[in-house]
Structure 1
Amino acid sequence: MVQNPETIQECIEKARQRLYQIANQYPDLWHPEVIRQSMVLDELINEYNQATRLKKTIKI
């Protein structure tokens, strides 16, 4: 189920903040925790893009 873009934006911001925290904790950007959180953020961004694309399609 696709969430609304505003909800996803909030999740993106939280995930981004978490990524910053993890990156500060593990300065090696190849650390598995950094990569894992980066992937979480990527998925949320993809979901946001899908939701906004769907919203534009429905308005047309």
Structure 2
Amino acid sequence: MSLLRVERARKRLYQVQEKYGFLTHPKVIEQSRKLDHLLNQYQTCKSKS
């Protein structure tokens, strides 16, 4: 798991939110969940080392 993947997902979330405008839009929620998943994976890997 790389921090770069997390940062890319975060940037994508900002782009999707800017495009659709609403935090409740399904595309924004979907990208937010992807970012959450990556953050959880990153945190798990970090805590194991």
* Range of TM-score over shorter length: over 0.9
In structure 1, runs of 5+ residues without a counterpart are 56-60
CA distance in 2, matches of 1:13, 1:49: 14
Cα displacement (A) at 1:31: 0.3
Q: Percent identity?
A: 41
Query: Is the aligned partner of 1:44 residue 2:33?
Result: no
Root-mean-square deviation over aligned CA pairs: 0.7
TM-score by length of 2: 0.94
| Structure label with greater radius of gyration | 1
TM-score by length of 1: 0.78
Query: Is the aligned partner of 1:54 residue 2:48?
Result: yes
Moved over 2 A (4+): none
In structure 2, runs of 5+ residues without a counterpart are none
Counterpart among 26, 29, 36 of residue 35 in structure 1: 29
